[in-house]
Amino acid sequence: MESLYLLIPIALVFCVVAIKLLLWAISSGQYDDLDKEAWRILADDNVRKKPSVPDKDEPS
Amino acid sequence: MELEGELRPMCCPGCSAVARMIAGSGLESFYRQRTAFSQRPDEHTTAAAHFAIYDDPQLASTFCESDAQGLQHAAILVGGITCAACTWLIEQALTSTPGVERAQVNLGRSRLDVTFDPEQLRISDMFSRLDQLGYRPLPFEESTRREQARREYSQDLRRLGVAGLGMMQVGMFAIALHAGDIQGMDARYESLLRWVSLPVAAFVVVYSARPFFTAAWRHLRVGALVMDLPVALAIGLALLASAWATLRGTGQVYFDSVVMFTFFLLLGRFVEKRVRERAEPNWQNFQRQLPDAVKVKRGDQWSSVPRIAVREGDELLVRSGEMVPIDARISSGSSSIREDAFTGESLPRAVCGGDVIYAGTLNLEGVLQARALGGVHNSRLATLQNLVDSPLVEKPQLVRLADRVASWFVAGMLLVASLTAVWWYLQAPGQAFWVVLSVLVISCPCALALATPAALSGAAGALQRNGVLVRGENSLESLTRCTHLIFDKTGTLTRGRLALARVSVLETGSGEADVRSICATLQHHSSHPIAGAFAHDIADNGMTDIRQLPGAGMEGRHGNAVYRMGNAAFCRELAPAFPDAPDEDLIWVALCRDTTPLAWLGLADEVRPEAAAVVSAAKQQGLTVELLTGDSSGTGPTLARELDIAKCSSGQSPEDKLAHISSLQARGAIVCMVGDGVNDGPVLRRADASFAVAGASDLARAQADFILLGGNLHAILHTFALARRCRRIIKQNIGWALIYNVCAIPLAAMGMVPPWIAAIGMSTSSLLVVGNSLRLTRASATKD
């Protein structure tokens, strides 16, 4: 049980990192258009892309 | 392929299918909006000096307008309005300021309209007053409105995201703590878990739950009690008490409840707000659609002047295809004017010298010279717009189920808490604090506060997938109590465009196809709405010298033969023997070749194929169906007979329509209106619930509670059905929340509820409410 003293702070660090990442993603505009993402695969040829959204087409 | 009410050519069936799919789910406006955003630095200077720039007359004139009495009308965009109570607050605060004549806030558009005396009050003072109230004022402009919405959206998302991550973290610790409560746990581990929960929960409250505190405080300062107050109290007290318990190492902690409560409430509000914001059209000021520059005769010269500078008696020039900028009387020229926006009539009106033309209508044919009848603010269009914005057309407030319950609930909760405090103070003063606290935490109106937004956003989501956007806050609830369903005619029950209904060929030897081909050739050169009826016929190309004669018709030459198509008088100039039109209630157009009458073409506004089925289904559900149209021709009653609608009022001006609905409402009816045109704007706003059909004008969309995206009227019935289910769900939710509280509060007051039961009870009751609301979305998804 002593390991809790190490593991819980580590969990907190992860939590802080996750929050930082989320805030960064929001401020970089990745969540500006939540509905768009699902449709983008259908529309990438004939629709202009928003210039300020960083390209995040991950190979998934 | 029709996109946003505009016909667009599509290159192939594949593209057309994709575009239809995108349009069908409401994404079309989405793409249009994306490019308009731009980054803007954060401004935190709230000093009055910052607002002084708006005193500059040049800048002020962009959002202020003065009238004859020397008063200024300012349109201000106000950020931070969350509910109807905020609009009340702003209006009250401003009207009590000296110099302010009138202040009115539009909740849906976050817009504040102020009439004030510039002698007594500077614009900058008004702005600082708003700033002191805790709102963010800006001059009302299209781009700033969107920018602000975007900033609020991303702020909401941040708060929600942080609350979500915090909830997972605190929840993890809480499970360990609760498990420890049951099976026993070493005190040092318990204290460790409490100590790590504290900063996470505190951060979530400070960062994410701030809107509840600011809203509660803002209203409390002016003596208004809102739902945010018990919410803020519960969150604040539970956090403080848990922190105290952590420091002292005794008592109970409620970190998980605090964070979970915050997250669920933020989620409910975020989803609800987003669903409504998506349906927000870009319309805000009809005047922006009018041409800004007007050709005005100054001396002997035509010069372009800004529209605001046009004065009564100025001589204007309106060319063909232009929108009339200002109400005016024609001094020379003739043309036809399309004014379906005002009258709902599908055919343009032929005008000549002496006739009055109205701002916002479209000059189709000839060049007109006209004399202005007054400034922009006196135009009929401005009157209509003011009518829409005036409180006269405000919806009658049906008291919301949740609000009714909430006020009783708050009173009851405070009573129980104080009784408990007194009782325990007399019995066991040492425990009194903890018992009262647990009463407050357990009675925290989480499930109650979630009951309505969760169900409403679930229903709105389900409707959106079926092509209906929900804008109105309270409209789903009103819909369930509806007694009257009132339709507009042109563009609502009909398609709003003319189609060929009957061809009566007069010359033996020519067939219908020949006649149509001649018509198509002539009409390809016309801007008249009749031309649309022939757009799909194949034109025969041998015709030359085709020209349009305003107010009469089309003329063309094929070899030596002269063809004419238009009204009877126009054709009879060539063919005196032209017979009278058949006796049928259609719009008849004559066609002749030299002296030979060729055909009568009967045109009609095409009725939507599903209209009859929708009307009869609505009647079966016990609704009184009426037809209310601005068209004064005989087509209104004919259509009503065809669709078996008992009551039809035709030739109604927007004011008449409004009066009709208000008188119905005064007699206790709850009215649902379906419309599309600019002239329907005021009634759509006034009706208890309203629908704007696909392709409706921006003004109508901006006022309607529901916007149909597809062209099918069946969606109306679907919305009715879903609204009923939504109301049932809200009732179940509230019922559950109350049962939970009724059971839990007495136990807590007796000091018998340990925190783990409180946390589980509260979370379960919230989850039940959310899960119950989600049934709305799931059931409708499987049905499709």
**What are the pLDDT digits (tens) for B18-72?**
345 435 544 344 334 333 222 222 333 444 555 666 776 766 777 778 777 778 8
Average pLDDT score over residue span B136-164:
77
Confidence of residue B166 (pLDDT cuts 50, 70, 90): very high
Average pLDDT score over residue span B749-777:
76
3-state helix, strand, coil in chain B (%, to 5): 50, 20, 30
CA-based nearest distance B154→chain A, Å: 7
The highest-confidence range among B91-105, B200-214, B281-295, B359-373, by mean pLDDT, is B200-214
Closest by CA position to B195, among listed B234, B248, B260: B248
The highest-confidence range among A49-58, B27-36, B375-384, B672-681, by mean pLDDT, is B672-681
Residue B47 contacts A where some CB pair is shorter than 8 Å: no
**B584 against B370, higher pLDDT:** B370
Would the pLDDT of B498 be above 90?
Answer: no
Which residues neighbour B443 within 8 Å (Cβ) at sequence distance 6 or greater? Answer: B234, B413, B416, B417, B741, B744, B745, B748
List the single residue in A26, A35, A43 with the smallest CB-CB distance to B161. A26
Average pLDDT score over residue span B426-450:
74
Which residues from B are below 8 Å from A18, CB to CB? 165
Lowest mean pLDDT among B132-146, B407-421, B531-545, B608-622: B132-146
Question: Which pLDDT belongs to residue B162?
Answer: 94
Confidence of residue B85 (pLDDT cuts 50, 70, 90): low
Give B391's DSSP letter. Answer: G
Confidence of residue B17 (pLDDT cuts 50, 70, 90): very low
Question: Which pLDDT belongs to residue B654?
Answer: 81
Residue A18 contacts B where some CB pair is shorter than 8 Å: yes
Closest by CA position to B500, among listed B632, B595, B634, B591: B591
Question: Which pLDDT belongs to residue A13?
Answer: 93
Question: Which pLDDT belongs to residue A20?
Answer: 93
DSSP letter string, B323-374: BP-S-EEEEE--EEEE-HHHH--SSPEEE-TT-EE-TT-EE-SS-EEEEE-S
Question: Which pLDDT belongs to residue B757?
Answer: 73
CA-based nearest distance A59→chain B, Å: 24
Confidence of residue B158 (pLDDT cuts 50, 70, 90): very high
Which residues from B are below 8 Å from A47, CB to CB? 31
Scan for tokens 């005036």, then name that residue.
B390
Would the pLDDT of A59 be above 60?
Answer: no
Q: Are A19 and B165 an interchain contact pair (Cβ–Cβ within 8 Å)?
A: yes
CB-CB neighbours of B353 under 10 Å: 13
Q: Are B169 and A4 an interchain contact pair (Cβ–Cβ within 8 Å)?
A: no
Nearest-angstrom CA–CA distance, B85 and B407:
14
Question: Which pLDDT belongs to residue B302?
Answer: 78
CA-based nearest distance A18→chain B, Å: 8
Residue B346 contacts A where some CB pair is shorter than 8 Å: no
Which residues from B are below 8 Å from A6, CB to CB? none
Which residues from B are below 8 Å from A11, CB to CB? 169, 172
Which residues from A are below 8 Å from B31, CB to CB? 43, 47-48
Lowest mean pLDDT among B7-21, B191-205, B211-225, B416-430: B7-21
List the single residue in A8, A11, A19 with the smallest CB-CB distance to B162. A19
Lowest mean pLDDT among B106-110, B155-159, B162-166, B662-666: B106-110
Mutate to test the interface with B, among A1, A8, A44 (most CBs of B within 10 A): A8
Closest by CA position to B486, among listed B338, B663, B346: B663
Which residues from B are below 8 Å from A1, CB to CB? 186, 189
**What are the pLDDT digits (tens) for B197-211?**
999 999 999 999 998
Q: Are A39 and B172 an interchain contact pair (Cβ–Cβ within 8 Å)?
A: no
Provide the percentage of residues in chain B whose pLDDT is more than 70.
Answer: 77
| CA–centroid distance for B604 within its chain | 31
Lowest mean pLDDT among B232-246, B271-285, B290-304: B271-285
Q: Are B158 and A4 an interchain contact pair (Cβ–Cβ within 8 Å)?
A: no
**Secondary structure tally for chain B: helices H, strands E:** 26, 29
Mutate to test the interface with B, among A22, A36, A40 (most CBs of B within 10 A): A22
Nearest-angstrom CA–CA distance, A15 and A12:
5
Average pLDDT score over residue span B669-690:
85
Which residues neighbour B309 within 8 Å (Cβ) at sequence distance 6 or greater? Answer: none
Average pLDDT score over residue span B622-632:
85
Which residues from B are below 8 Å from A20, CB to CB? none
Confidence of residue B676 (pLDDT cuts 50, 70, 90): confident
Mutate to test the interface with B, among A17, A30, A35 (most CBs of B within 10 A): A35
Q: Are B18 and A42 an interchain contact pair (Cβ–Cβ within 8 Å)?
A: yes
Average pLDDT score over residue span B581-607:
82
Across the A:B interface, residue pairs with CB atoms under 8 Å apart total 72
Average pLDDT score over residue span B506-535:
78
Question: Which pLDDT belongs to residue A53?
Answer: 40
Q: Are B192 and A4 an interchain contact pair (Cβ–Cβ within 8 Å)?
A: yes
Would the pLDDT of A17 be above 90?
Answer: yes
Would the pLDDT of B447 be above 90?
Answer: no
Which residues from B are below 8 Å from A15, CB to CB? 165-166, 168-169, 200
Mutate to test the interface with A, among B34, B173, B192 (most CBs of A within 10 A): B34
Question: Which pLDDT belongs to residue A41?
Answer: 59
Average pLDDT score over residue span B654-661:
86
**Do residues B486 and B673 lie in contact, with contact meaning Cβ atoms separated by under 8 Å?**
yes
Strand partners, B304: B295
Q: Are B158 and A26 an interchain contact pair (Cβ–Cβ within 8 Å)?
A: yes
CA-based torsion, B313, B315, B316, B319: positive or negative: positive
Lowest mean pLDDT among B394-408, B441-455, B565-579, B720-734: B394-408
List the single residue in B22, B34, B161 with the smallest CB-CB distance to A33. B34
Would the pLDDT of B148 be above 80?
Answer: no
Would the pLDDT of B675 be above 60?
Answer: yes
DSSP letter string, A2-52: TTHHHHHHHHHHHHHHHHHHHHHHHHTTTTTTTTHHHHHHHHTTTSPPPTT
**What are the pLDDT digits (tens) for B696-717?**
766 677 778 888 877 788 889 8
Q: Are B189 and A18 an interchain contact pair (Cβ–Cβ within 8 Å)?
A: no
ipTM rounded to 2 decimals: 0.72
Would the pLDDT of A55 be above 60?
Answer: no
Which residues from B are below 8 Å from A9, CB to CB? 196
Q: Are A22 and B22 an interchain contact pair (Cβ–Cβ within 8 Å)?
A: no
Question: Which pLDDT belongs to residue B49?
Answer: 57
Question: Which pLDDT belongs to residue B284?
Answer: 45
Task: Tell me the pLDDT of chain B averaged across its residues.
Answer: 76
Which residues from A are below 8 Å from B469, CB to CB? none
Residue length of chain B:
784
Question: Which pLDDT belongs to residue B30?
Answer: 31
Nearest-angstrom CA–CA distance, B29 and A33:
12
Label residue B642 exposed, middle or buried (CB < 10 Å: 0-12, 13-18, 19+): middle
Average pLDDT score over residue span B5-12:
52
- Residues in B 315-334 with any Cβ partner in A closer than 8 A: none
- Residues in B 149-208 with any Cβ partner in A closer than 8 A: 150, 153-154, 157-158, 161-162, 165-166, 168-169, 172-173, 186, 189, 192-193, 196, 200
Question: Which pLDDT belongs to residue B285?
Answer: 46
What are B524's two structure tokens? 């390809």
Would the pLDDT of A34 be above 60?
Answer: yes
DSSP letter string, B509-567: T--HHHHHHHHHHHHTT--SGGGGGGTTSPPPTT-EEEEEETTTEEEEEETTEEEEEE-
Scan for tokens 């009469």, then name that residue.
B552
Average pLDDT score over residue span B363-374:
82
CA-based nearest distance B460→chain A, Å: 15
Map out the domains of chain B with their CATH numbers: 2-34 (no CATH), 52-140 (3.30.70.100), 286-389 (2.70.150.10)
Question: Which pLDDT belongs to residue B160?
Answer: 93
Mutate to test the interface with A, among B156, B157, B204, B259 (most CBs of A within 10 A): B157
Confidence of residue B651 (pLDDT cuts 50, 70, 90): confident
Which residues neighbour B232 within 8 Å (Cβ) at sequence distance 6 or greater? Answer: B209, B212, B213, B215, B216, B217
Would the pLDDT of B378 be above 60?
Answer: yes
Q: Are A18 and B154 an interchain contact pair (Cβ–Cβ within 8 Å)?
A: no
Would the pLDDT of B661 be above 60?
Answer: yes
